[in-house]
Amino acid sequence: MRTLALLVVWMSFSAPAAAEVINSTAANLLSRWWNPAHTFSSNSANLSLDARPGGCLCESVANGGVVHLTVVYVVAQKEIRFSGGLGPLQQTGVAGSMIWRLTEAAGGTQFEWTYTVDAVLPDQLNRLKRFVETGRPE
- Residue spans of the domains in the chain: they are 7-134
Is the pLDDT confidence value at 128 over 90? no
Average pLDDT of the chain is 82
What's the CATH code, domain 7-134? 3.30.530.20
Cα 82 from chain centroid (whole Å): 8
Tens digits of residue pLDDT in 24-82: 777 777 888 889 998 999 999 999 999 999 999 999 999 999 999 999 999 988 899 99
Helix axes 19-28, 123-134, angle to 10 degrees: 120
What is this structure's pTM? 0.75
Query: 98 versus 93: which is more confidently predicted?
Result: 98
In this prediction, residue 131 carries a pLDDT of: 83
